Amino acid sequence: MQLGWLRAASQPEEVLSFYRSAPDPFLLPRPERDFRLAVERGQHFIVGRGPRIEAAAGVFDYGHDLPFVELSETRVSDPLRGFGLQRLFLLVRVASVVAFQGPGVLCTCAVDPGNTRSLANVESVGFRPWNAPPPEALASCPECPRRPVSGHRRCCCDFYALPVEQARGAVGAFLAQTAGGVLTLSARLKGTLKLDCSSCLVATDSEVRSALGEFASGSSW
Ligand SMILES: CC(C)(COP(=O)(O)OP(=O)(O)OC[C@H]1O[C@@H](n2cnc3c(N)ncnc32)[C@H](O)[C@@H]1OP(=O)(O)O)[C@@H](O)C(=O)NCCC(=O)NCCS
């Protein structure tokens, strides 16, 4: 059995150096200030073993004060792939958006149509195609090195959004998974991974959990 932890990153540098250590073609470039803001807000989540970060994912703005955010920049290092960390990162970020930004803020994401693993995970959490993303969601496309050069696509990715009923389900699943303060995940060929989430506020704070529970059961919002 492997032991690890889940928490929000506290230092932008730890997150930035994790991404710099292994750039991935499915992760689109993003200004450093976006990562710093996600970390400052306590919304860049990391999984690690011992002192080492092994996976990360953040919540980003498309612009100032908009009613939707982008769940993005998920990277899981090879040794921890297959444990379902991408799904866990989706759940913890949805819970943090509901708890700290409010259930009226729509969780969205953008996925390259060739990234079939990500698509399966995003759809399994309940994300649905966001067919008419607003201009703010496409604002970085002109500078993107992967911008489509021809055809009708404006962005190399397809956009998805999480309807409120599916957000309730995602938050309920997150609460159930983190109920004991330790999460147990398994991968077909790699055994089990136990993640201590006692330093992850959204998973452990009793007031936050109680507000999330009301949202998940439909008694609030
Ligand atoms: C896409 C990504 C985040 C998925 O992370 P994950 O937490 O391993 O996802 P899952 O646990 O759901 O695994 C998905 C599948 O990939 C398989 N897999 C991929 N790489 C693997 C590896 N190196 N070792 C074992 N399994 C691997 C898993 O077995 C699983 O297959 P299964 O459903 O048949 O069991 C991860 O592969 C990654 O970081 N990719 C590069 C960056 C990226 O694409 N980010 C997302 C942008 S939208």
- pLDDT (tens digit per residue) in 30-49: 899 999 999 999 999 999 99
CB of 85 sitting under 6 A from ligand 1: yes
Total tally of structural domains belonging to the chain: 1
pLDDT greater than 70 at residue 151: no
Contact 107, 94 (CB under 8 A): yes
pLDDT of residue 150: 62
pLDDT of residue 83: 98
- pLDDT (tens digit per residue) in 76-87: 999 999 999 999
The rounded percent of the chain whose pLDDT value lies above 70 is: 98
Give the CATH number of the domain where residue 155 resides. Answer: 3.40.630.30
CB of 125 sitting under 6 A from ligand 1: no
CB of 138 sitting under 6 A from ligand 1: no
Q: Quick one: pLDDT band at residue 148, thresholds 50, 70, 90? A: low
pTM of the model: 0.95
User: φ, ψ for residue 134 (rounded to 5)?
Assistant: -70, 165
Look over the chain and give the mean of its residue pLDDT values, rounded to a whole number: 93
Position 146: which residue type?
R
| CA 122 to centroid of ligand 1, rounded, Å | 12
Range of the domain at 101: 2-217
- pLDDT (tens digit per residue) in 96-123: 999 999 999 999 999 999 999 999 999 9
pLDDT greater than 90 at residue 153: no
Q: What is the DSSP string of 133-150?
A: --GGGGTTGGG-TT---S
